[in-house]
Chain A
């Protein structure tokens, strides 16, 4: 492989990983934007997403490396698996909010955040106890057709990731910008008391934020499984921490910021893996985080707002 092809290849890989991190980062940022809460249970909603997707695929007989289906049936199964995963994760997110966080509404301090850490442990342990602690093979049903540019290649799967991420992020952006509920979300994020006095049902806005963020985490979990061809109860931690970094890097609470932060983290991971050594990826990612926070405490696209009273 020529140096240029190698760079191109890692760029392609980085964009694919980055799209996954961006989807996951959006969940952190949407919830933070509205509640100023860092939701650590998001890590394991993502992990559960990969398990749900694996379960749905296996219902259709897809497991391991076998390519059983082609064409429209395969697309159909993938779409069904995606929709089921996203809805299931969205409802899980809403359930977490309803059961664990709503009772803490109005409590000052870090209680809600600590609670999300607790929920995160409950989720990962529940999966470990019911599914087993061993690593599972995630099915790989997508044919390995690829577009070749020199010796670099872009697989069909990578195109699918990009298209899917673009559709989901575009849909989220349109929802938040144009729909009535989306506007209520933005209004609540900017001034919760004023939004309440316009007649916005703040609980409904919070539920929507959890549903959307968790559904996107489910999609990211599905992508993770297809990308790495494995899953286990512990995948949420590394990927979740990187995605959280992406959200902070872009400016937490800022939706385009999370997208850009995610892509950046994906590219760093791919490039570091190629040129420096995969084990350095996290070192570079978190060093960059420290650097950005020192130079631009609000993140790349964030703005420093006066603390809400």
Chain B
């Protein structure tokens, strides 16, 4: 399934409930190391719950979440971050009254502060020169695009193997959306696996290797991104605005 790549993250028959509400239904994902995987689906189909299940904010009722061959579904969030999973949260969720630099520091929270901290900081600053300029500014005063850069930078500061992104394009101008997706590809080429929930299906499928489609909590479709772009169901349901964008 994962094209011969060693699996990085797997969901094995995961079921998640909020009270009586059955959100994820027997969900299976298989992310290979080094892939960009995108997760498509309408509102309230379980995309955000998937992210929360990976980060340990929500515990599955049954099934297993496996990261690099070990079960993580009972581990506290901090332990998952330590093992190399970092989030880019929906709507960015920076700490508004902390400086940009402090936000980046928070990204490295679970790590000991050593020489590699400066290395990672340099890496973020190289990727986003703008973030370096703004490092002493309060994060809440930045524009949406700049906040997105800090949010991605903050995730990188955890030195992650896997970054989970929840709606990275949300609320960004088209120019910034394009830049963000460029950056995501760059980060991926440096060896970081990307799992991305995205409303902007056309954009997401243009950079993803593979995709899953969730519908009311069930995986109804999965496969290489190129195939998905041609798939009638996907075109109808998620790529409707592609023509509009092109025109």
B81 in contact with A186 (CB, 8 Å): no
Task: Confirm or deny: A117 has a beta carbon within 8 angstroms of a beta carbon on chain B.
Answer: no
Q: In the assembly, what is the distance between CA of A201 and CA of B79, in Å?
A: 10
A194-B89, A196-B57 are known contacts. Are A186 and B78 too (CB-CB below 8 A)? Answer: no
Shortest CB-to-CB span from B82 to chain A, Å, is 7
What residues on A are CB-neighbors of B176 within 8 Å? none
What residues on B are CB-neighbors of A191 within 8 Å? 93-96
Task: Confirm or deny: A152 has a beta carbon within 8 angstroms of a beta carbon on chain B.
Answer: no
B57 in contact with A199 (CB, 8 Å): no
By size class, the interface of chain B is: 20 to 34
Partner of A190, one of B76, B95, B113: B95
B151 and chain A: residue at smallest CB distance: A194
Task: Confirm or deny: A20 has a beta carbon within 8 angstroms of a beta carbon on chain B.
Answer: no
A200 in contact with B109 (CB, 8 Å): yes
Task: Confirm or deny: B77 has a beta carbon within 8 angstroms of a beta carbon on chain A.
Answer: yes
Task: Confirm or deny: A198 has a beta carbon within 8 angstroms of a beta carbon on chain B.
Answer: yes
Main DSSP-derived SS at the B contact region = loop
B68-92 with Cβ < 8 A to chain A? 76-78, 81-82, 87, 89
Q: Fill in one digit per residue for A154-168: 1 if any B CB lies within 8 Å of its CB, else 0.
A: 000000000000000
What residues on B are CB-neighbors of A187 within 8 Å? 95, 98, 106
What residues on A are CB-neighbors of B95 within 8 Å? 186-187, 190-191, 194-195
By size class, the interface of chain A is: 10 to 19
B57 in contact with A195 (CB, 8 Å): no
Task: Confirm or deny: A70 has a beta carbon within 8 angstroms of a beta carbon on chain B.
Answer: no
Shortest CB-to-CB span from A136 to chain B, Å, is 44
Partner of B106, one of A193, A198, A201: A198
Task: Confirm or deny: A105 has a beta carbon within 8 angstroms of a beta carbon on chain B.
Answer: no
Which of A180, A191, A199 is the most central at the interface, judged by chain B CB atoms within 10 Å of its CB? A199
* Interface residues of A, Cβ cutoff 8 Å to B: 180, 183-184, 186-187, 190-191, 193-201
- In the assembled complex, 25 residue pairs joining A and B whose CB atoms fall closer than 8 Å, in A order, are A180-B109, A183-B98, A183-B102, A183-B105, A183-B106, A184-B109, A186-B98, A187-B95, A191-B93, A191-B95, A193-B57, A193-B89, A193-B93, A194-B89, A195-B95, A197-B77, A197-B81, A198-B106, A198-B110, A199-B77, A199-B109, A199-B158, A200-B106, A200-B109, A201-B76
